[in-house]
Structure 1
């Protein structure tokens, strides 16, 4: 199966997701977070750096669970600057913490 190239919006959304997860992880060791979430440290590193723009839902759900994040709040913050969505355009941001 051929995978379509990601749109610039998808790439940006992946970058924001990684940035949020990194911020929420704070000083918590990457290795500990990854192991508790059941993912490899390299996978977590790639997600946090934005290199994996569209990670699998179960992966994000597991990481969010370990960090104590609500998936609803996480998604709201990820999409808050999505200019392609008129209902969220304008850059309102909602903090997770």
Structure 2
């Protein structure tokens, strides 16, 4: 199966999601959050920086649980909801 290239909108959605996750992680160590979510630190780093703009559903669910973020907030952010200013700086 060949995966279609992501659209610019999907890439931007991944960047928004990554910014939200980075903000929610705040001062917590990247490795600590990755371990709690059952993913590698490198995978979390890629998601947070937008280099992995389309992570798996289960990964997002586990990150939300590890960070105390409701699934609805993650979905709204991915769809284009407004982020707090500190998330985009």
TM-score (norm 1): 0.81
The match for 1:37 is 37
Query: Displacement of 1:77 after TM fit?
Result: 2.3
1:19 paired with 2:19, answer: yes
Larger radius of gyration: 1
Point out 4+ residue stretches in structure 1 off by more than 3 angstroms.
none
Query: 1:58 — aligned with what?
Result: 58
**Cα distance per residue 1:23-57 (max 9 Å; x no partner):** 11000100000001100000000000000011000
SS in 2 for 1:13: helix
More helix, by proportion: 2
TM-score when normalising by structure 2: 0.88
The alignment covers a number of residue pairs equal to 84
User: Relative contact order: is structure 1 or structure 2 higher (C-alpha 8 Å, sep ≥ 6)?
Assistant: 2
Q: Which stretches in structure 1 are left out of the alignment for 5+ residues?
A: 82-92
Give 5+ residue unaligned stretches, structure 2: 85-89
The SS at the match of 2:50 is coil
CA RMSD of aligned residues (A): 1.3
